[in-house]
Chains A and B, each alone.
Chain A
Amino acid sequence: MTLGQWATRYVPPAAVFVSLIGLWEAMVRIKDIPPYVLPAPSLILETLVTDRATLFASLWVTLKITLGALAAAVIGGVSLAILFAQWKWVERSFLPFAIVLQVTPIVAIAPLLLIYLDPQTAVLVCAFLVAFFPILANMALGLASADRNLIDLFKLYRASPLKTLLLLRLPGALPYFLGGLRIGGGLALIGAIVAELAAGAAGKGAGLAFRIVEAGYRLNIPRMFAALTLISLTGIAIFAFFTALSKALLGRWHESALGSER
Chain B
Amino acid sequence: MLEMTGPRTLVSLSGVGKTYKNGTTALSGIDLDVRSGDFLSLLGPSGCGKSTILRLIAGLDNASSGSLSRSFTEASETVGFVFQEPTLLPWANVFDNVYLPLRLQNESRRAAAARIEEVLAQVGLSSFAKSYPRELSGGQRMRVSIARALVRHPLLLLLDEPFAALDEITRFRLNDDLLRLQGELGTTIVFVTHSVYESVYLSTRIAVMAAHPGRVIEDIEIETDMPRDEDFRASHTYALYCQEASSALHRAMHEKRT
What residues make up the interface of A, taking CB atoms closer than 8 Å to B?
147, 149-150, 152-159, 163, 167-168, 171-172, 174, 252-255, 258
Contacts and interface: CB of A to CB of B under 8 A. Distances in A.
Interface of B: 55, 58-60, 75-76, 79, 81, 83-85, 87, 89-92, 100-101, 103-105, 132-135
A248 to B, nearest CB: 13
A253 B132 contact: yes
A253 B135 CA distance: 9
A252 B132 contact: yes
Given A167-B103, A253-B133, A253-B134, A156 B91 contact: no
B58 A156 contact: yes
B87 A157 contact: no
Given A157-B101, A158-B76, A253-B132, A147 B87 contact: yes
Contacts, number: 55
30 contacts: A147-B87, A149-B83, A149-B84, A149-B87, A150-B89, A152-B55, A152-B60, A152-B81, A153-B81, A153-B87, A156-B59, A156-B75, A156-B79, A156-B81, A157-B76, A157-B101, A157-B104, A158-B76, A159-B104, A167-B103, A167-B104, A168-B89, A171-B89, A171-B92, A172-B91, A252-B135, A253-B132, A253-B133, A254-B91, A255-B134
B76 A156 contact: yes
B156 to A, nearest CB: 12
Counting from the closest, the 10 A-B pairs by CB-CB distance are A149-B87, A157-B104, A158-B76, A149-B83, A253-B90, A253-B91, A159-B104, A252-B132, A171-B91, A157-B76
A154 B91 contact: no
B5 to A, nearest CB: 32
Given A156-B59, A158-B76, A167-B104, 16 more contacts: A147-B87, A149-B87, A153-B100, A154-B104, A156-B76, A156-B79, A157-B100, A163-B104, A167-B89, A171-B92, A172-B91, A174-B91, A253-B132, A253-B133, A255-B134, A258-B134
A174 B90 CA distance: 12
Contacts of A156: 58-60, 75-76, 79, 81
Contact of A158 (B103, B104, B132, B134): B104
A168 B87 CA distance: 12
Contacts of A253: 90-91, 132-134
Nearest to B88: A150
Given A147-B87, A152-B60, A157 B132 contact: no
A253 B131 CA distance: 10
Nearest to A163: B104
A160 to B, nearest CB: 9
Contacts of B103: 167
B80 to A, nearest CB: 9
A252 B131 CA distance: 9
Contacts of A149: 83-85, 87
Contacts of A147: 87
B205 to A, nearest CB: 24
Contacts of A171: 89, 91-92
A173 to B, nearest CB: 11
Nearest to B81: A156
A81 to B, nearest CB: 18
Contacts of A174: 91
B90 A157 contact: no
B222 to A, nearest CB: 29
A254 B60 CA distance: 29
Nearest to A164: B104
Contacts of B90: 253-254
A157 B84 CA distance: 18
B20 to A, nearest CB: 15
A167 B91 CA distance: 10
A94 B171 CA distance: 50
A155 B81 CA distance: 11
Contacts of B83: 149, 152-153
Nearest to B85: A149
B62 to A, nearest CB: 12
B74 to A, nearest CB: 8
A155 B62 CA distance: 13
B60 A155 contact: yes
A159 B101 CA distance: 9
B225 to A, nearest CB: 35
Contacts of A168: 89
B112 to A, nearest CB: 14
B224 to A, nearest CB: 33
B130 to A, nearest CB: 10
A163 B84 CA distance: 24
Nearest to B96: A167
Contacts of A167: 89, 100, 103-104
Given A147-B87, A152-B60, A253-B90, A157 B134 contact: no
